[in-house]
Amino acid sequence: DAKTTQPTSMDCAEGRAANLPCNHSTISGNEYVYWYRQIHSQGPQYIIHGLKNNETNEMASLIITEDRKSSTLILPHATLRDTAVYYCISHSGYSSASKIIFGSGTRLSIRP
Amino acid sequence: DAGVTQSPTHLIKTRGQQVTLRCSPKSGHDTVSWYQQALGQGPQFIFQYYEEEERQRGNFPDRFSGHQFPNYSSELNVNALLLGDSALYLCASSQDQSRQYFGPGTRLTVT
């Protein structure tokens, strides 16, 4: 499974868009990019995932570069409740026997 | 519909003891994965169970073992506890490639 790299921490003003980058330069063709976040002392929460195309849901947008070596999670209007550690992981799907490797994530702080 | 549940919430054990943690997956999910999360670190994959078999395993010693029951619930067993086993243990369930649902975790403290 591909290893991902993310900045250790970021901050963003409340109401602005938060853009969280992730590098996954060794990702293979059948591996998806997943994003989760973990609010202090809770279990991780799924945000979004994608393979090649950009994706959007009620929580966020995922932009994947054409070469699939990096992606950006966009929280369009950050609120204080978005303060969390954000994890980008890549693997070939939960229905396959693939290891799921979390990195250290990005600690996102939203300032009022 | 209940999500993923884990028990107990907190646990304190002594070095050398054995512990069993339990997980009930989200309704309709047949795959259960276990993770260990040390303080300040990301979750580390321990193993995954599907159809009552261990399908994939991370880099954890044999002291860590598991089981999945016919109703898809699962147990994580850790023998000969070490101080370094103190962590938040997370269970996650899934059905397809869409997402993984995590439980609230069990906080294990080894003294």
Token couple for B11: 């646990």
Express each pLDDT in A58-95 by its tens digit.
Answer: 999 999 999 999 999 999 999 999 999 999 998 876 55
What is the overall mean pLDDT for chain A? 91
Cβ B20 vs Cβ B108: under 8 Å: no
CB-based contact (8 Å) between A94 and chain B? yes
Express each pLDDT in A24-65 by its tens digit.
Answer: 998 888 889 999 999 987 999 999 999 998 999 999 999 999
Determine the pLDDT at residue A50.
93
Express each pLDDT in B76-94 by its tens digit.
Answer: 999 999 999 999 999 999 8
CB-based contact (8 Å) between A105 and chain B? yes
Give the number of C-alpha atoms closer than 13 A to the C-alpha of residue A11, restricted to the C-beta side. 5
Cβ A12 vs Cβ A78: under 8 Å: yes
Q: Is B70 exposed, middle or buried (0-12, 13-18, 19+ CB in 10 A)?
A: exposed
Give the other-Cβ count within 10 Å of B98's Cβ: 13
Interface contacts (A, B; CB < 8 Å): 65
For chain B, the distance separating the N- and C-terminal CA atoms, rounded to the nearest angstrom, is: 37
CB contacts of B89 in chain A (<8 Å) are none
In angstroms, what separates the C-alpha of A1 from chain B's closest C-alpha?
12
Contact criterion met (CB < 8 Å) for A94 and B97: yes
CB-based contact (8 Å) between A32 and chain B? yes
Contact criterion met (CB < 8 Å) for B45 and A100: yes
Determine the pLDDT at residue A91.
81
Give the number of C-alpha atoms closer than 13 A to the C-alpha of residue B79, restricted to the C-beta side. 6
Contact criterion met (CB < 8 Å) for B45 and A49: no
Express each pLDDT in B12-65 by its tens digit.
Answer: 999 999 999 999 999 999 999 999 999 989 999 999 999 899 988 999 999 999
